[in-house]
Copies of this chain bind each other. A is one copy, B any other.
Amino acid sequence: MLGLIQDRPLLISSLLDFAATYHGEVEIVSRSIEGPIHRYTYRDAQRRSKQLAQALQRLGVKPGDRIATLAWNGYRHFECYYGVSGIGAVLHTINPRLFAEQIVYIANHAEDSYIFTDLTFVPLLEQMAPELKSAKGYVILTDRKHMPGTSLPNVICYEELIAPESGEMEWPRLDERTASSLCYTSGTTGNPKGVLYAHRSTVLHSFATCMQDVLGISSRDTILPVVPMFHANAWGIVYGAPMCGAKLVFPGRELDGQNVYELMDQEKVTMSAGVPTVWLMLLNYMKEHDLKLPYMNRTVIGGSAAPASMIATFEKQYGVTVIHAWGMTEMSPLGTTGVMKAKMADWPFEKQLEYKAKQGRAVFGVDLKISDDGGNELPRDGKAFGHLMVRGFWIASGYFKGEGGQVLDEGGWFDTGDVATLDPEGFMQITDRAKDVIKSGGEWISSIDLENLAVGHPDVAEAAVIGVAHPKWDERPLLVIVPKQGRSPTKEEILGYLDGKIAKWWMPDDVVFAKEIPHTATGKIQKVALRQQFKDYVLPTAQSAAE
């Protein structure tokens, strides 16, 4: 027997309609690419998004067509979010920081029909245009006055595109499972793969962003998403803010400490979200100029782990609560947030910080578990670590065009590729990437734990741990050390430092010293390259075991 409830689909267009109807006067403030600060309201945004929708239909865009954007956080990009998805087309947000060949691959793989771009990326696109096979035209997100001279074919000025339209239309009533947007993940190996969000999953994820235990977005917030809109929809803020009529402040192109601070101060921002690198710039700028954040009450830190010291600085020095969050593009992206539980409120700050520095606890709508190589669930005791598996209402079931094949197991779980612990409070902590874990005699050793310990030695600048082949144990840990300038620690000193801090069988079998360790563009240790470098390395213990 079915319930007797109105059958209404969960649609992205309803988020903007709600904001325009009940919070029509609330502002969206943007630092424009052209220069000045731009201000308008949700009511304006709705009208212009509808004008865009009408213009796309005039161009012949059909439901399911992919429309790409290369754009910073700003109001015209916001209009693309609603104008494109609202009519059943698919908004494909491209990360403009990718290598040119990756962008070309992605745009061709997605078969993007129109590409909307900020002025910033026109030169980049001019180089790529001959290879962009599906593109029917390029829409520059600016007005006539600022239109650049360009070699791009079929160039359209955004303001001229939408100007003839009335904005008077009703959004179509789509199937709520309709694809709404597309975001590619740039894996460390292989080609980028597309995650295809749906209207339903996006609206459900938006509800989560408004929960007190997640981001707690409300009509009383002014939110500055530093996290780009091309990073999993600015972690959902682009949808969560209109769902409750929060004021939005878009920072545009410049994300340095000064620009971000000035916007926060002038617009009385109450909440923000970004990666640790951005916060480092802001914190340095504020320290240098002796500034405070009187209006901010919380900020989200995600993308990579927030250092405990950064969390402490925000909370103790600036009175800004940190919401340490974890997720993935494949997860829309929110999976966990480190909002304290009731009983933790009375804990001493140092104990709270232990939990705040973890990746957080599950958001309702996402289920987590850890399991061993055989798929057996491991205990939630804060000690056992295993493959972090997720399932839920806004988690990918596969990649666009079937890339990567079947990605869910029989129970419907998605393997995050991370290795993590789950503690009795439900807090999750990532201990490693699964491919970096060292598997010694069937047991796992966390490379990250060993690295974090080794850098505590006063002579060590950087440390990396990889697994190296071993005839008896399959793999054993090799510790690669970059000493500090002018220091030359010995193997014995380093291992002696670790002794007593780890289980005996975790002790690295050898230590090598190097001038540098290979890094990715975003500053992470490139374990793949390091493993390649040491692929023929023979551990001293391997020799004795083989004898």
A364–B20 Cα gap in the complex (Å)?
A: 12
The B-contacting residues of A in range 451-467, CB under 8 angstroms, are: none
A77 sits at the interface (CB 8 A)? no
Q: Closest Cβ of chain B: how far from A61's Cβ, in Å? A: 13
A47 sits at the interface (CB 8 A)? no
Closest to A341 in B: B219
Which 8 A-B residue pairings sit nearest by Cβ, starting from the closest?
A: A3-B198, A212-B218, A207-B207, A1-B64, A22-B426, A5-B201, A4-B196, A3-B179
Are the C-beta atoms of B7 and A397 separated by less than 8 Å? yes
Given contacts A213-B244, A245-B341, whether A393 and B10 have CB atoms under 8 Å apart is yes
Residues on B with beta carbons closer than 8 Å to the beta carbon of A5? 177, 196-198, 200-201, 393-397
A178–B3 Cα gap in the complex (Å)?
A: 6
Residues on B with beta carbons closer than 8 Å to the beta carbon of A245? 213, 341
Are the C-beta atoms of B342 and A393 separated by less than 8 Å? no
Are the C-beta atoms of A342 and B22 separated by less than 8 Å? no
Are the C-beta atoms of A392 and B6 separated by less than 8 Å? yes
A217 sits at the interface (CB 8 A)? yes
A105 sits at the interface (CB 8 A)? no
Given contacts A23-B426, A362-B22, whether A3 and B180 have CB atoms under 8 Å apart is yes
Are the C-beta atoms of A220 and B392 separated by less than 8 Å? no
Given contacts A2-B177, A8-B392, A18-B364, whether A213 and B213 have CB atoms under 8 Å apart is no
Are the C-beta atoms of A213 and B218 separated by less than 8 Å? yes
The count of identical subunits is 2
Are the C-beta atoms of B8 and A393 separated by less than 8 Å? yes
A interface bracket (residues with beta carbon within 8 Å of B): 35 or more
Residues on B with beta carbons closer than 8 Å to the beta carbon of A21? 362, 367, 426
Are the C-beta atoms of B244 and A3 separated by less than 8 Å? no
Q: Closest Cβ of chain B: how far from A313's Cβ, in Å? A: 24
A358 sits at the interface (CB 8 A)? no
The B-contacting residues of A in range 361-402, CB under 8 angstroms, are: 361-362, 364, 367, 391-400
Q: A3-B198, A4-B198 are in contact. List 10 more A-B contacts (CB 8 A).
A: A1-B179, A2-B175, A2-B198, A6-B408, A23-B341, A207-B211, A212-B217, A212-B218, A212-B219, A216-B218
The B-contacting residues of A in range 195-217, CB under 8 angstroms, are: 195-201, 204, 207-208, 210-213, 216-217
In the assembled complex, 5 residue pairs joining A and B whose CB atoms fall closer than 8 Å, in A order, are A1-B64, A2-B179, A4-B399, A10-B204, A210-B213
Residues on B with beta carbons closer than 8 Å to the beta carbon of A22? 361-362, 426
A222 sits at the interface (CB 8 A)? yes
Q: Closest Cβ of chain B: how far from A361's Cβ, in Å? A: 6
Q: Closest Cβ of chain B: how far from A9's Cβ, in Å? A: 9
1/0 per residue, CB under 8 A from B, across A288-300: the answer is 0000000000000
A283 sits at the interface (CB 8 A)? no
A33 sits at the interface (CB 8 A)? no
Are the C-beta atoms of B400 and A4 separated by less than 8 Å? yes
A469–B414 Cα gap in the complex (Å)?
A: 69
Residues on B with beta carbons closer than 8 Å to the beta carbon of A68? none
1/0 per residue, CB under 8 A from B, across A44-71: the answer is 0000000000000000000110000000
